[in-house]
Amino acid sequence: MNVKKFTAATSRDALRKVREALGPDAVILSNRPVDGVVEILALDNDDVASLASPAIEEPQAPSFAAFDNDFDPEPVFTRAPAPAPRAAAAQAKLDPFAGQPYVERRAAPVAEPEVPPTYVNRRAPAPEATVDMAAMTQMMSAAIAQAKESAAVEMSGMMNEIRAMRGLMETQLAELSWNATAQREPQKAAVLRELLAAGFSATLARYLIDKMPVTKDAAEALRWIKTVLARNLTTIANEDDLLNRGGVFALVGPTGVGKTTTTAKLAARCVMRHGPDKLALITTDAYRIGGHEQLRIYGKILGVMVHSVKDEADLRIALKELKNKHTVLIDTIGMSQRDQMVTEQVAMLSESGADVKRLLCLNATSTNETLNEVVRAYQGSGLAGCIMTKLDEAASIGNVLDVVIRQKLNLHYISNGQRVPEDLHLADRAMLIDRAFRNTKNSAAQFGDADLPLMMAAAAADRSLREVHLG
């Protein structure tokens, strides 16, 4: 057995000497301080293997590999291997702790040798950092999207400012143009007041004034205006074609416009023409209290059966059962033109499986803007015509005539009372135009000279006017 002793100033230096002399598998027998230095007794692993008894398996002694890491400040307890009988005495002399069951050995951390800085190390370039191309692409895409969004917002703001400037310039130019026209042709200002007082819109009035032929007589100019309005007002010549042709007709419109009463008036005309057996009445008004009962009373008086439906499926079944009837009149639910159910009602009538012709009831007492909303809401795929109601309650009817002319509607009837069926008449164009301009003197006085340029400027910006035939 070849036990070697190693001394050094520190445990780390002593362990390094052991590793250099005996290798990493050397067995540490003792580790103690002696006279200010650290003394380590070590034995080669091959000598221990040759001396160990093969029959007795004991835990291996700590190898140098256990101390290869940094120094562990806590004591490490290991069991030393049992020495061979021959080497027991010698090991007792060399290791005073050999007879004890556990030996406390404190292993000092082995410091790695520091590499001295060289010229090459100081001048060596630093390793380049790797670039995440996916993250870079994502950042670039986000930056481009943000730039596009900012550009779109700025462009939208710029376009709004340009439109505002354009509107302002058009308004000022229209005022200047109207002032020049009024000074040059004062009869146009008089005719314009008449049109506005009758209830016609400024857009239609501006169009007619611009197209009016040159004349110095205001009465002659007003006659030309009435002729053009009557020519563009579409009405049915007689009701023979309507009543004799028959079909399915649905009266639609806002609440309170008079659909149920008008339905009863049309039903009375059909009964007088063809008899009660050729007519059928259908109501979809299951929500309004008394709506269904009101039509049932009219049907009982006329001797006509009234059918009630709730949805599209019921309407399909009812129309299929009544296909042998000459005329079928449908009284629909009244709802506001801004109600989303209007679209559903139009779809229900259009997809009922029959050719349902929709007749829109227009309240003569409503304003021009309200009537335009009603027409746009109930237009759908197209209206077969319209019926003017509450003519007896309207102070002026130019507003409803203006909508009928501009929207190119076919005016069938006018209703001027509650009597059934007396207060339902065919639309007479000449009578309606003359009625519109009747008693407008007091109303025309409310439009001053300073108001006309502003109204004409606003009318110039309105480009919603459809084609009007001048003749």
Instruction: Kindly report whether the global pTM for this prediction surpasses the value 0.75.
Output: no
Task: Name the segment(s) of the chain with CATH classification 3.40.50.300.
Answer: 237-426
CA distances from 128 to 124, 131, 138, 424 (A): 12, 9, 22, 94
pLDDT at residue 94 above 50?
no
SS3 state of residue 385: strand
pLDDT exceeds 50 at position 256? yes
- Given a cut of 70, whether residue 121 has pLDDT beyond it is no
Helix or strand or coil: residue 74? coil
**Pairing state between β 410-415 and 385-389:** parallel
- Kindly state the average pLDDT of the residues 59-85: 45
> What proportion of the chain, given as a percentage, has pLDDT over 70?
70
Q: Could you give the C-alpha distances from 316 to 319, 358, 420, 439, in angstroms and in order?
A: 5, 16, 29, 49
Phi, psi of 370 (to 5 degrees): -65, -40
Which pLDDT score is estimated for 343? 85
Q: Which tokens sit at 271? A: 């009964």
**pLDDT digit string (tens) for 361-396?**
999 998 888 999 999 988 877 888 899 999 988 888
Mean pLDDT throughout 23-28? 82
**Residue 250 parent element (H or E):** strand 247-252
pLDDT, residue 63, reads 47
pLDDT of residue 28: 83
Q: What would the mean pLDDT of 40-64 be, rounded to a whole number?
A: 62
What percent of the chain has a predicted confidence (pLDDT) above 90? 9
Q: Angle 398-403-406 (CA atoms, 0-180°, nearest 5)?
A: 115
Q: What are the DSSP calls for 394-463, one per residue? A: -S--HHHHHHHHHTT-EEEEEE-SS-TTTTEEE--HHHHHHHHTTT-HHHHTTS-TTHHHHHHHHHHH--
Nearest to 460 by CA among 165, 183, 201: 201
Give the residue carrying structure tokens 């009602």.
345
CA 51 to chain centre: 90
Domain 237-426, CATH 3.40.50.300 — does that match? Answer: yes
Average pLDDT of span 200-224: 83
What is the SS3 assignment for 102?
coil
Residues 108, 67: Cα–Cα separation, whole Å: 7
The amino acid at residue 312 is E
**Exposed, middle or buried: residue 55 (CB in 10 Å: 0-12, 13-18, 19+)?**
exposed
Handedness of CA 155, 159, 165, 169 (dihedral sign): positive
Contact 181, 188 (CB under 8 A): yes
